[in-house]
């Protein structure tokens, strides 16, 4: 399958309240030969206050991001959608992309009224993140790479540091296209220096493969990092979140004997999942996780995994406990609590009628034509976002009441400490 390497430079780090200013991508064949390169920029959307830190890192001035010759955010996201459609199916690959770029893209598709916010996951597309691949290499084949240190003498996993330490020269850091080239270089080095790890990650692009591995209750090795050096967890799949089937559960068998859980109450299991340091690891099967079959597990691990395999009731109870843990950790808003539309991105899928209406909205050649479609949305989120987009681009088309309400919302957004960073 071809690869689509990509990177964003943005107004800040909040997926919900910032947006991309630059999108660069390189489409390659499965041997990393370049097929096409794109490098897009847009001007700052008027409702977003950019982070001074983000502008300092990228070296972009306010004059540059407010250049009226640049396309607006709506136009750039529509062009990106077309690129994704043209390049599908591909493996969309970035560096720290699953934690940063991917959520930013999803929110941008949502807020600019694109018909499919999961464009990088549909139509045969898969996802790959080179940062967790580097974590796995550091744990499993550290001799294959040079590992740079930062100014404090600590291990650095920054893209510019890793790439420079391992043969990539003239890197233009924090420019989206420069970072894409560095990402291609690193993945190519993994492919040549640690081919088994590369092959394992390619397998994990298929969420069904990961699901089957966890469901098998075969001992697994999970690579993770929280602040310090990456580390390995030896465990076993022990069920799936009862409310979210793509969240698998890995039990750390080096630290927990599953037999001790047989008599635990449901409340005990919920507390076990929430305890720190964590002995129960959530694993998203659809996010190319760093989890691999462990074929040489020691007898204790193999015995504990076999117990989990034979105890379906424990797996089911762990699934319900994981669902309860997330329900308690992220409770639904109260009846009087106002929810910003940006935070409602996962409130449900669009109806077929709304998806058709979004396609018509996108295909209109003028904002006047889009205004005539304003009242055709069934989903109130889409109606609200459409009003915002019209207010930003053609406020003259809106009534005085709608302009006043939109202006008040804009001021409230700018003065909200949860939005302004």
Q: How many residues does the chain have?
A: 421
Q: State the Cα–Cα distance between residues 18 and 50, nearest whole angstrom.
A: 7
Q: Which residue has the higher pLDDT, 8 or 407?
A: 8
* Angle at alpha carbon of residue 317, lines to 312 and 318, rounded to 5°: 95
Strand order of the sheet with strand 3-10? 34-41, 20-28, 3-10, 91-94, 126-129
For the chain, give the percent of residues with pLDDT over 90: 86
Residue pLDDT, tens place only, 327-386: 999 988 877 778 899 999 999 999 999 999 999 999 999 999 999 999 999 999 999 999
Q: Which residue has the higher pLDDT, 197 or 412?
A: 197
Structure tokens at 376: 């055709």
Task: State the pLDDT confidence band at 409, using cuts at 50, 70 and 90.
Answer: confident
Helices 195-204, 207-215: axis angle to 10 degrees equals: 90
Residue pLDDT, tens place only, 110-137: 999 999 999 999 999 999 999 999 999 9
Residue 241: per-residue pLDDT: 98
This prediction has a pTM of 0.94
Residue pLDDT, tens place only, 135-194: 999 999 999 999 999 988 899 999 999 999 999 988 887 799 999 999 999 999 999 999
Residue pLDDT, tens place only, 243-283: 999 999 999 999 999 999 989 999 999 999 999 899 999 99
Residue 339: per-residue pLDDT: 86
Residue holding tokens 């020269």?
A: 169
Task: State the pLDDT confidence band at 417, using cuts at 50, 70 and 90.
Answer: low
Closest CA to 105 of 93, 115, 120, 90: 120
Closest CA to 219 of 311, 318, 304, 279: 304
Residue pLDDT, tens place only, 53-81: 888 888 888 889 999 999 999 999 999 99
For the chain, give the percent of residues with pLDDT over 70: 99
Give the mean pLDDT of 6-35: 97
């Amino acid at each position: 399958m071809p690869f689509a390497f990509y990177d964003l430079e943005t107004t800040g780090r909040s997926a919900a309240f910032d947006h991309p200013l630059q999108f660069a991508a390189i489409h390659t064949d499965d041997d990393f030969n370049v097929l096409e390169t794109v490098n897009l920029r847009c001007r700052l959307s008027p409702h977003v206050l950019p982070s001074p830190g983000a502008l300092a890192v990228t070296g972009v001035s306010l004059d540059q991001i407010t250049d009226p010759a640049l396309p607006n955010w709506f136009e750039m996201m529509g062009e990106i959608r077309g690129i994704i459609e043209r390049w599908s199916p591909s493996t969309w690959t970035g560096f720290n992309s699953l934690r940063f770029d991917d959520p930013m893209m999803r929110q941008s598709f949502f807020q600019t009224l694109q018909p499919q916010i999961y464009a990088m996951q549909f139509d045969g597309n898969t996802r790959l993140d080179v940062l967790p691949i580097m974590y796995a290499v550091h744990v499993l084949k550290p001799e294959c790479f040079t590992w740079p240190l930062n100014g404090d003498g600590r291990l650095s996993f920054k893209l510019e540091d890793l790439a420079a330490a391992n043969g990539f020269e003239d890197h233009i850091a924090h420019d989206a296209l420069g970072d894409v080239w560095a990402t291609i270089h690193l993945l190519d080095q993994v492919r040549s220096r640690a081919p088994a790890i590369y092959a394992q990650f390619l397998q994990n692009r298929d969420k069904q493969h990961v699901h089957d591995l966890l469901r098998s209750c075969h001992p697994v090795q999970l690579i993770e990092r929280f602040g310090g050096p990456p580390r390995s967890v030896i465990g076993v799949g022990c069920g799936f979140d009862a409310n979210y089937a793509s969240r698998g559960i890995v039990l750390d068998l080096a630290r927990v004997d599953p037999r001790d859980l047989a008599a635990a109450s449901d409340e005990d299991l919920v507390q076990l999942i929430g305890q720190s340091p964590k002995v129960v690891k959530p694993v998203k099967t659809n996010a190319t996780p760093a989890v691999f079959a462990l074929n040489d597990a020691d007898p204790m691990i193999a015995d504990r995994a076999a117990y989990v395999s034979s105890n379906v009731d424990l797996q089911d109870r762990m699934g319900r406990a994981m669902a309860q843990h997330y329900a308690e950790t992220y409770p639904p808003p109260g009846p009087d609590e106002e929810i910003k539309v940006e935070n409602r991105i996962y409130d449900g899928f669009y109806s077929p009628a709304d998806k058709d209406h979004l396609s018509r909205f996108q295909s209109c050649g003028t904002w006047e034509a889009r205004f005539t479609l304003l009242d055709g949305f069934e989903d109130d989120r889409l109606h609200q976002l459409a009003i915002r987009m019209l207010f930003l681009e053609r406020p003259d088309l809106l009534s005085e009441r709608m302009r006043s309400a939109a202006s008040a919302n804009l001021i409230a957004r700018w003065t909200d400490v949860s939005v302004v960073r």
